[in-house]
Amino acid sequence: MSDTPTTDILSADAVDALRARVHDLMPQVRVDLEALARIPSVSLDAFDQTQVEASAEATAALLEAEGLTVEIVREGGRPAVIAHIDGPEGAPTVMLYAHHDVQPPGDDAHWDSPPFEPTERDGRLYGRGAADDKAGIMAHLAALRAHSGKLPVGVTVFVEGEEEIGSDSLPTILERHGEKLRADAIVLADSTNWAIGEPALTTTLRGMIRVVVTVTTLDHGIHSGMFGGPVPDAITALVRLLATMHDDTGNVAVAGLKEGVAADLDYDEARLRAESGLLDGVDLIGSGSILSRIWTKPSITTIGIDAPTVATSSNTLVPTASAKISMRLAPDEFDLDGFEALKKHLLDHAPWGARVEVHLDDRGNGFAAHAQGPVYDQARAAFADAWGVQPVDIGVGGSIPFVAAFAEKFPQAAILVTGVEDPDARAHGANESLHLGEFEKVCVAEAVLLARLGALPRG
Ligand SMILES: [Zn+2]
């Protein structure tokens, strides 16, 4: 693909025709989405895995019906669907990603309609997976159908079956089937838009590491009356150590970590308070814009502590105590560099000479898109065609392991992280839902994007 920055390579008539075509397709897209969302394809071990097989097969059948060559692959994990159809000679190849597994529904009592019976209320379709990410699968199918018989690009579709449990076999799938997935542009439809009527491209994700820190002060527990005073206990030492990870303002105090700059979007304290449920009178912590604190600066949270429970505790100086720490990293920080920085901090700040051990429990790199160039130009133009407004660049504070995996495997490909969600979608929660009006725009944008990428000058 050339570097031509032009976005007027597709006529307004061509865009209008695609918009009308997608509009006509939406009733059947809706029927197929509901059928997928009725399959309780929860990938977590404790759930019936024949349902994950069933959703892989249903996805494969939908793609086969559009004329794609389809296979279901398993590399020690859940079934993934890989499908392909050639484009015109010399046209670029676009890989479209989604996942067909879902989160557990949680307690049915928290749902206003059954989680696996898709139900429309007030323009939204409620159900587990109705948004995350079965709507991603159907957005890809809508784009394929809009171009049925005359695809402007080659298309490979990859629908994973274990995204919700961490994509553990994805590296093996990429190793063994990576050539089938190679593409000039990759569309990962598993994120969110900024607001109703405001499309977004997700251009940064934070990385993460998780560690367990263990503090030991004694070789056995001893009477807190006989020895308390001069002899330090491990819980107090651990708490002092954990407290060193932030300064008084609440900024991360670990030296040597990167910080990124977040996009300049409106997100005020009132909205954060409402969305997070922060109690009145409790301060926000840290400094810098709120979005930089969520998207591009590191954060540290203690997520668990091993120590005697309140109910079972006795008057003892506890000899050893552990905490699990979750740290989020700037999008371009290498995860193991973040680990080394935190480990050094914890060892250097051992209170009272206590023994401190640090173990790495989990890790994952973030993602910082090179969000420029012809593919991004055409993606932004396609979003503008569909919504009538320019998309914004957003970050996501969490980590999506597969994005980093694709970025590492295909460094030459332009990676677009798009999505069907909006801030009310409640993916992973009770009453997950899809905004149907926005969903049609998502489908239009993807159909237009394929046309635009097919119209790029070849070179
Ligand atoms: Zn998802």
pLDDT above 90 covers what percent of the chain? 93
What is the value of pTM for the model shown?
0.89
- What pLDDT does residue 430 have? 95
pLDDT of the residue at 231: 98
Q: How far is the CA of 10 from the centre of ligand 1 (A)?
A: 31
And the tokens for 437? Answer: 């009006």
Of 355, 444, 421, 409, the residue nearest 172 (C-alpha): 409
pLDDT of residue 196: 96
How far apart, in Å, are the Cα atoms of 384 and each of 184, 199, 265, 439?
Answer: 22, 8, 18, 15
Between the CA of 341 and the centroid of ligand 1 the distance, in Å, is 31
Q: Do residues 137 and 35 touch, judged by C-beta distance below 8 A? A: no
Mean of per-residue pLDDT scores for the chain: 95
Question: Is 317's pLDDT higher than 80?
Answer: yes
Predicted confidence at residue 127, as pLDDT, reads 98
Mean per-residue pLDDT, 410-426: 94
User: In which band, very low, low, confident or very high, does the pLDDT at 3 lie, cut at 50, 70 and 90?
Assistant: very low
CA of 14 to the centre of ligand 1 (A): 31
Ligand 1 centroid from CA 313, angstroms:
42
CB-based neighbours (< 5 A) of ligand 1, an ion: 132-133, 190
Distance (Å) from CA 5 to ligand 1 centroid:
31
Expressed in angstroms and rounded, the spacing between residue 310 Cα and the centre of ligand 1 is 38
Q: Residue 22: which residues within 8 A CB-CB, separation 6 or more?
A: 142, 146, 440, 443, 444, 447
The pLDDT of residue 263 is 85
Could you tell me the distance, in angstroms and rounded to a whole number, from the CA of residue 163 to the centre of ligand 1?
Answer: 7
Catalytic residues: 101, 163
Q: Is the pLDDT of residue 293 over 90?
A: yes
Query: What confidence tens digit (pLDDT) does each residue in 227-286 have?
Result: 999 999 999 999 999 999 999 999 999 999 999 988 889 999 999 999 889 999 999 999
342 Cα to the center of ligand 1, angstroms: 29
Q: What is the pLDDT of residue 5?
A: 53
pLDDT digits (tens, 9 = 90+) for 350-391: 999 999 999 999 999 999 998 999 999 999 999 999 999 999
Residue 353, classified by CB atoms within 10 Å of its CB into exposed (0-12), middle (13-18) or buried (19+), is: exposed
pLDDT digit string, tens, across residues 95-126 = 999 999 999 999 999 999 999 999 999 999 99
Residue 410 has pLDDT above 70, yes or no: yes
If you measure from the C-alpha of residue 297 to the centroid of ligand 1, how many angstroms do you get, rounded to a whole number? 23
How many angstroms does the Cα of residue 374 sit away from the middle of ligand 1?
27
Instruction: Kindly tell me if the per-residue pLDDT of 4 is higher than 60.
Output: no
